[in-house]
Amino acid sequence: MALRPCVRHMKARWRRITSTDRGTDRDAREARPVEIAERLGVKPPTVTKNISRLKAAGLVRREPYRAIFLTDAGQDLAEICRRRHRVVVAFLLSLGIDEETAERDAEGIEHHVSGTTLEAFERRLNQK
């Protein structure tokens, strides 16, 4: 199932929402739709719609009266996104881009850069 850019963006942000504030415990990797909406600066219905897409793709699960959790497949995909983000940021920093700009620009680039280009970024970074 191909995920639209907004869903990929929300998925990429999930890693920050669930891991930054809560540690690494499996049950701690949960987030409530209201928290997601606040952190992303969107309205809760936008989150709900995208959570439905992530659930249909098998990337999240929801338990009654609990928050939303990443599935193992969701965790794997989040790790891939985290790696892509780190490579893009590192590459931009290597070009002399300031950290704030590199982080902001990487948010868009990481979703559109091909695997071939990402590998080229890594090769260039490893040459230094």
| Range among 4-8, 18-22, 96-100, 103-107 rated most confident | 96-100
Q: What is the rounded distance in angstroms from the CA atom of residue 38 to the CA atom of residue 24?
A: 21
Higher per-residue pLDDT: 83 or 20 = 83
* Residues 59, 90 within the same domain: no
Residue 95: its pLDDT value, please? 96
Residues 6 or more apart from 88 whose CB is under 8 A from it?
105, 106, 109, 110, 113, 118, 121
Same-domain status, 9 and 63:
yes
d(CA 23, CA 62): 20
* Contacts (Cβ under 8 Å, ≥6 apart) of 56: 1
Q: Residues 49, 17: one domain? A: yes
Instruction: Verify that 13 and 66 share a domain, yes or no.
Output: yes
Q: Is the pTM of this model over 0.75?
A: no
Mean pLDDT of 16-29: 50
pLDDT band at 22; cut points 50, 70, 90: very low
Residues 23, 41 within the same domain: yes
- Tell me what the pLDDT averaged over the chain comes to: 80
Domain housing 84: 78-126
The domain boundary residue, chosen from 43, 71, 99: 71
- Percent of the chain topping pLDDT 70: 77
On whether both 60 and 36 belong to a single domain, the answer is yes
**Res 126: pLDDT:** 94
